[in-house]
Structure 1
Amino acid sequence: MVEVTRSTALGVVGASELFQFLRDGAPRTRSALAQATGLARSTIAARVDELMELGLVTPVADAVSTGGRPPSQFALNPAARVVLAADFGASHASLAVTDLAGTVLAERSEALDIADGPVRVLGWLVETGRALMAEIGRDRTDLAAIGIGVPGPVEHATGRPVNPPIMPGWDRFDVPGWVQQHLEVPVLVDNDVNIMALGERQVAWPRTDHLMFVKVATGIGSGIVSGGALQRGAQGIAGDIGHVQVARGAEAACHCGNRGCLEALASGPAIARALRERGLDAVTGRDVVDLVKRGDLTAVQAVRQAGRDIGEVLTACVSLVNPSVIVIGGSMAQAGEQLIAGIREIVYTRSMPLATAHLQVVQSAAPENAGVLGASMLAIQHVLSPEGVDALAAR
């Protein structure tokens, strides 16, 4: 059989496939790689050399010897390349440069209105990304990919937002294409809740294969990890629970055009509106959180009821996808136990006992940076995939 080399496609016995055994960062010897892959030692040696030329793997401390000279070990070199990770919210933007292990090397956050439009917002990404890379002494050749999270539905196959309610001017805008005019690397785009699910799992639940991340903020949505993989559905909107109808709010108008949506009842602005109707000074979700922290009983009761409404929808989710962890994040999660207590009250009462026997409903462990870390994971997963390694070899 003719061996595949770097001068041709790196096929099933190529370096890109071999790299999949090393991308977890655990050191392995050539012998261990040969045993795991079934490839000849000479093939393994050639492929390891190719990966070392790319900088993706590096020798590490020798393994324990059973006699004679200890065999050399090899592992992922996180410093080989960097990625840009952007998390855009309704009124904020965060950008980080990370290595291939997701370690943040430089970051910046600013107030930025997503309604300013894609050219303004993505222009900030390009300009700030270049500045951050210069700050840490990395140039464009070190950049391997860009991950972007946006606060609206995204068609995963194209990276284009589709009918995003709070993103005027973004509908079907070619986000990857525009960014690649300025930074010629792969650009991965997803909705912000999906990337937050990836980030939360990376930070707090790396061994949990069944997880839901629920963001409660200006809107409400969820990211679903099942079988260890992010589930996007056919068009990329799996987990869009904010527009599931809740019986209690049948008359509540939602910006999507329907009535009774969960988001119209339990989002930060919806709770603030309900409190204003009761004479309290609350305009935003932040105002609601401040009232709860000051112990205002009316605000506490409103947030607890919002938790119950969210719990009603999550009860159906528990039956449908059977997560072992539900993580509550977003700005309204800062109201603390009041929101989560309402969610738990309904989920644990109405779900089947087998589904809730070991189910945890918890607050986010990475409330400030889950989005950036998730965007980083989105980019890194592409870079370290067989296709991504092949692309680096071609460059």
Structure 2
Amino acid sequence: MPNGPTGQAPGAGVLLAILRDGQARTRGELAQLTGLSRSTVSQRLDGLIDRRWVVAGEDSISSGGRPATVFAFNGGARVVLAADLGATHARLAVIDLGMTVLAERAAELPVDRGPERTLTWVVDAFQELLAGVGRDLASVCGVGVGLPGPVEHASGRPANPPIMPGWDGFPVPQWLGDRLGAPVLVDNDVNIMALGEHWAARPQVDHLIFVKMGTGIGCGIISGRRLHRGAQGTAGDIGHVRVPDSEAPCRCGNAGCLEAVAGGASMAAALRAAGIEARGGRDVVALMRAGDLRATRLVRQAGREVGVVMASIVNFFNPSVVVIGGDLAEAGEQVLAGVRETIYSRSLPLATQHLGIRVSELGDRAGVLGAAVMVVEHVLSPGALDQIVTGAQ
């Protein structure tokens, strides 16, 4: 492996990046892969072993002399705290660096209660989950949070979120970091769901769009196997794309937005107007499954409306997979049929020739897994690891 752009030899972080594939290697193999001397490899490994990022063992295969020592990534060295906060519910998890879920919890948690009440519950729940698996805050290397609204990713602050009163500009990373003692990364909930779906279910896919159909509607974009956030972090906000021939008022202040036509909240409101009790998208899906024809028609039409917007995006971005997630994805083929109908009829044949349109494989766990992926990739990046090992932080 050649020297980096600064001309410096690869550091400890590069060794860890190699070992994260799960294969144990000897000093000689690491030296060959990096171009470093065995003595330098040993020095780099010592720093990783001291902090338990890497563990040593004896190779079971000997060349005739003393068995060579092999080194492996220690996925249990630290844990990540992950929180996926939706409009009305939350899912939290404690996940180790090998992406094993150690503990998780789901709860009804209206985000419109405001940031401090919501995040206080999150902190308390995290501490209970940690205690339940015999860990404490000292073992936490990072926290990942998804929020149901626009987030300026660089600062982690919500930016004018229409369904989150009191959250605009709130310093979520600082507030949580002060109480949990670890770095905090915050992103839009759809972005972390896209990360989770791509990492766990479709890592071989280069170009993927994850569409969340819940109380609101949004999409996360994986381009070249990397999350695309845009200049300010608002890439993929399709929920406020104007739908033709609609004047439905939207919570953002405009009219005719996709969210106002096809979101779970709008469908539940339409059912209530017809005298049918429904609080949100989950109730709409439950009614559909119970055979309610009004709910079934609403779900199918919501799929069509989302498909109209997605057809333009498929033409523009040319993904290989479109994944539908969120509460309304539980409607399965009813919502997929509407999405497919309009995408395939309105998109270019070449763009849809090999296009897959399917429901999320991870369901409501996509968000917490994606939040953990976001943190792990940040904490274990070669540059960040080099700083930790050399004592720069």
Give TM-score scaled by structure 1 length.
Answer: 0.92
Offset of residue 357 of structure 1: 1.6
Offset of residue 289 of structure 1: 1.0
Residue from 11, 16, 20 that aligns with 2:17: 20
Task: Find the residue that maps to 2:19 and give its secondary structure.
Answer: coil
Partners of 2:242 and 2:257 within 8 A in 1: yes
Is 1:38 aligned to residue 44 of structure 2? no
Offset of residue 280 of structure 1: 4.3
Aligned to 1:179: 176
Partners of 1:219 and 1:267 within 8 A in 2: yes
In 2, Cα distance between equivalents of 1:220 and 1:20: 35
In 1, Cα distance between equivalents of 2:93 and 2:292: 37
Task: Find the residue that maps to 1:165 and give its secondary structure.
Answer: coil
Offset of residue 73 of structure 1: 2.6
Is 1:223 aligned to residue 220 of structure 2? yes
Aligned AA (2:70): Q
Aligned to 1:8: none
Aligned to 2:90: 93
Task: Find the residue that maps to 1:370 and give its secondary structure.
Answer: helix
Q: Deviations over 1:253-282 (max 9, x none)?
A: 111111111111111122233344555444
Is 1:193 aligned to residue 190 of structure 2? yes
In 1, Cα distance between equivalents of 2:360 and 2:58: 36
Residue from 375, 380, 385 that aligns with 1:379: 375
Give the unaligned 5+ runs of structure 1.
4-10
In 2, Cα distance between equivalents of 1:50 and 1:339: 52
Partners of 1:86 and 1:149 within 8 A in 2: yes
**Alpha-carbon spacing, 1:64–1:226, altered in 2? closer, same or farther (3 Å):** farther
Is 1:268 aligned to residue 264 of structure 2? yes
Aligned AA (1:331): D
In 1, Cα distance between equivalents of 2:119 and 2:276: 38
**Alpha-carbon spacing, 1:107–1:392, altered in 2? closer, same or farther (3 Å):** farther
Structure 1, 155-164 or 198-207: larger mean CA deviation: 198-207
In 2, Cα distance between equivalents of 1:291 and 1:299: 6
Is 1:138 aligned to residue 135 of structure 2? yes
Q: How do 1:222-301 and structure 2 match up within 5 A?
A: 222-249=219-246, 251-278=247-274, 280-301=276-297
Offset of residue 72 of structure 1: 3.0
Give TM-score scaled by structure 2 length.
Answer: 0.92
Cα RMSD for the two superposed structures = 2.0
Partners of 2:163 and 2:251 within 8 A in 1: no
Q: Deviations over 1:198-244 (max 9, x none)?
A: 11122211222211111001000011111111110000011111011
Aligned to 2:146: 149
Task: Find the residue that maps to 1:254 and give its secondary structure.
Answer: coil
Q: Deviations over 1:50-103 (max 9, x none)?
A: 211111112356275566555333221001111111111112122111100111
Q: What count of residue pairs does the alignment treat as equivalent?
A: 385
In 1, Cα distance between equivalents of 2:229 and 2:338: 27
Offset of residue 17 of structure 1: 2.9
Offset of residue 163 of structure 1: 0.3
Aligned AA (1:326): V
Give the unaligned 5+ runs of structure 2.
none
In 2, Cα distance between equivalents of 1:159 and 1:289: 33
Structure 1, 313-322 or 58-67: larger mean CA deviation: 58-67
Residue from 104, 108, 111 that aligns with 2:105: 108
Task: Find the residue that maps to 2:179 and give its secondary structure.
Answer: coil
Aligned to 1:7: none
